[in-house]
């Protein structure tokens, strides 16, 4: 059932070629627990964990029978998709553009520097280092090595939702042409 949940979850990316090219990376993100040091980032974990409730409802699985989650807490994959989905639903929805959850997820993967680790060039130790820097906020003062690279703020000191909002303010037209 874990495999069914994983495939269901990556379906939110909405890009089958991305899913195939980056299957090892996506599975690594699925197996890595999202940890946080700033209080409000707990909300990003809650966004990620909301996928589990939706999956349980859609597949009529009782919570007591769901022993197939990748980890006890929220995974990095769940958190990133949860944040991308919330961004789509609450901030950037456009009927003309359609659902941009997957596109925003891919932007975060690129900003992290994980986009070079496809299935043919996957080095788990390198990916672990990148994820560790991200999770411990040990990235540059402009966010180099983070999901959001900012021109006018130090993302090491602010929660992910505020980072996302600042990022959209700086980059919205660049990506969505709105």
C-alpha triplet 35, 36, 42: angle, nearest 5°: 100
- The whole-model pTM stands at 0.91
Long-range CB contact pairs, 98-104, < 8 A, 24+: 99/14, 100/176, 101/12, 101/13, 101/14, 102/12, 102/13, 102/14, 102/15, 102/18, 103/175
Contact 81, 12 (CB under 8 A): yes
Distance CA 24, CA 122 (A): 7
Tens of pLDDT along 11-30? Answer: 999 888 888 999 999 999 99
If one counts every other C-beta atom within 10 angstroms of the C-beta of residue 132, the result is: 12
Residues of the chain scoring pLDDT < 70 = 62-68, 93, 173-178
User: Which residues are bridge partners to 75 per DSSP?
Assistant: 33
Q: According to the model, what pLDDT value does residue 109 have?
A: 97
Domain boundaries in the chain? 2-125
Q: What are the backbone angles phi and psi of residue 18, rounded to the nearest 5°?
A: -60, -45
């Amino acid at each position: 059932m874990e495999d069914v949940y994983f495939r269901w979850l990556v379906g939110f990316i909405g890009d089958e070629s991305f899913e195939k090219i980056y299957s090892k990376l996506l599975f690594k993100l699925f197996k890595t627990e999202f940890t946080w040091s700033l209080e409000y980032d707990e909300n990003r974990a809650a966004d990620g964990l909301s996928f589990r409730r939706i999956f349980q409802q859609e597949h009529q699985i009782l919570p007591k029978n769901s022993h197939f989650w990748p980890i006890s807490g929220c995974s990095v994959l769940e958190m990133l998709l949860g944040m991308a989905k919330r961004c789509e639903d609450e901030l950037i929805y456009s009927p003309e553009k359609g659902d941009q959850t997957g596109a925003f997820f891919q932007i975060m993967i690129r900003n992290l520097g994980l986009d070079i680790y496809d299935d043919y060039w996957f080095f788990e130790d390198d990916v672990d280092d990148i994820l560790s820097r991200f999770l411990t906020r040990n990235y540059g003062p402009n966010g180099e090595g983070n999901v959001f690279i900012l021109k006018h703020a130090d993302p090491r000191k602010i929660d992910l939702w505020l980072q996302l909002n600042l990022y959209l303010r700086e980059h919205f037209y660049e990506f969505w042409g709105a």
